[in-house]
Structure 1
């Protein structure tokens, strides 16, 4: 199996995870790890052996490096990615690909002209839980709503607001399950004290399909919550990413009161409460590992891109931010 020589740009929280995954599976050979903060490079040297480069531009001049992993703040992605494409490098980019839709289209067009691959790491697309939901979503009947909470304490981002930091994950999952054609949206967001970016937001979306999606995101919660509830006419599900059993399926659907007389409604409500609970047995693998493997096969086997998905999510983020 061919190893693809690569460079990791950015060795923060997610860059550390990227390096671990690359080192573990051996699909890619880490030529270098680069960060503008020299202390981060020194931390990486404690775990990995790699060549030190003086600048990003010097890395791009090395023709032996085929792929660049951009794991830097979102506002830097466009310029770093464009330079890499012009240097004939394949790209793995931490979400979001860019902070506006026009730049994202430009990057994909430039990469296409040079027969290069761009893989944006919407990591939940590759999780066993989302894969299960996607494969079984038709068994839920007519979907009525999706309600999501993604909250934590203290992880304030200086370069994006809470919607671009957290809600992007929920939008990615929603698009994977039911599409993301937005009919109406309303957004309430709020800053915290003098911090420059919105720290909490409540988003209500009506999709063209009629499904209602509500997303609550916050950096101000005392606990970490990663929960999505999906309600259909036949079944419902709770997807909780912080639990060991990430999915629970309830064999009872949403009760529409106006369809029943009182006695029938009572029987239906009892049925709903007593609905059988199922905990599916999910495959055991890391979403990030699967995302990186997807990128590897994109390069070597011309595998499919998540381009359209990425563009839909960025477009949705722009719509929500303007609402």
Structure 2
């Protein structure tokens, strides 16, 4: 299937490379409003140059577009592509409000086109492993996530929509994201218009306590999620070679221990086994492209409905968090 990449920035470069590696998609063109980026792409790939986005959409040979542009452009670019009956792959977030997201899904259904939002970590082998092995942790007590780095300020969204969206997506995938209570502390940096750091506290309907810390102001890059269960606990760290560390020690939830039992529990915490499970699967972005291809070939599959509900939930949660900031 011949496709176009719209936007050749940091992530657009990764998407183009994944398309070239795909057995299903063929890279027909790369388009960027900054023509210097197109020239950079030509150093690596052989593709046809188009003068405008409209020219790409009017080419019937191009059946799908990959939109890898700033979030505030996603709705208009996706809507236009769907109106031309193109399948659409969109970098997260699908768009910046739930009303626009719902309109896109309705239009995709009307045009019989696939609409895929790239919540990239849902396709990452560590997260897939977690989904398949959540039962071994026992009842989940808490989830603590940190996603921080330095200087990657975004113009069209704040740090919550840029970074916390990943953790919210992972948590929804693993245990659901029905929120009972929310508290959010967020602050801007100097005169920059968008919040640059935030601490999000969530109490879920299932009793799980979630804390998420996100920042563009950290001198180091951290991508860490700790999941505490009653039987076992796990650390998922995307920056490490061993991305999953499984701890045999769980969370103590009993109100009282006799001195002997308390000592035994303390020894268990100190000597509990640690393991690094073997993770299987392709790179997350390649698997996301596979999921997009599956949607194109199976437009009415139930998984597409589940994916749509997931994306809508994440946008609605982001809206709820955004209105709760102090």
TM range (shorter): over 0.9
Determine the C-alpha separation between the residues in 1 that align with 2:262 and 2:313.
40
Q: What residue number does 1:313 align with?
A: 314
> Which 4+ stretches in 1 moved above 4 angstroms?
none
Give the TM-score normalised by the residue count of structure 1.
Answer: 0.97
Map of 2:41 onto structure 1: 44
| Partner secondary structure for residue 264 of structure 1 | helix
Question: Equivalent residue of 2:62, what SS?
Answer: coil
Partner Cα distance (1:25, 1:106) in 2: 30
Decide which of 122, 126, 130 is 2:123's aligned counterpart: 126
RMSD over equivalenced CA pairs, Å: 1.0
- Structure 1 position 26, deviation (Å): 3.5
1:272 aligns with 2:269: yes
Would the aligned equivalents of 1:257 and 1:265 in 2 still touch at CA under 8 Å?
no
Do residues 61 (structure 1) and 61 (structure 2) align?
no
Q: Provide the secondary structure at the position in 1 that maps to 2:236.
A: strand
The gaps in structure 1 that reach 5 residues or longer are none
Number of residue-to-residue matches in the alignment? 320
- Residue number in structure 2 paired with 1:103: 100
Q: Does 1:222 align with 2:219?
A: yes
70, 76, 85: which one pairs with 1:79? Answer: 76
Q: How does 1:1-323 map to 2 (within 5 A)?
A: 4-256=1-253, 258-302=255-299, 303=301, 304-305=303-304, 306-323=307-324
Q: What is the deviation of 1:301?
A: 3.5
Superposition deviation, residue 298 in structure 1? 1.3
CA distance in 2, matches of 1:259, 1:51: 71
- Cα deviation code 1:34-66 (max 9, x no counterpart): 000111111111111111111111111111111
Q: Structure 2: which 5+ residue stretches go unaligned? A: none
Q: Deviations over 1:69-112 (max 9, x none)?
A: 00000000000000001000001000000100111011001111
Superposed displacement of residue 257, structure 1:
5.0
Distance 1:311 1:262 in 2: 50
Secondary structure of 1:259's aligned partner: coil
CA apart distance, 1:255 = 1.0
Alpha-carbon distance in structure 2 between the residues aligned to 1:215 and 1:265: 31
* Aligned equivalents of 1:312, 1:274: Cα separation in 2: 40
Q: Note the alpha carbon deviations across 1:211-257, whole angstroms, 9 max, x for none.
A: 00100000111110000000000000000000000001011110125
The DSSP-based 3-state class of the residue aligned with 1:163 is helix
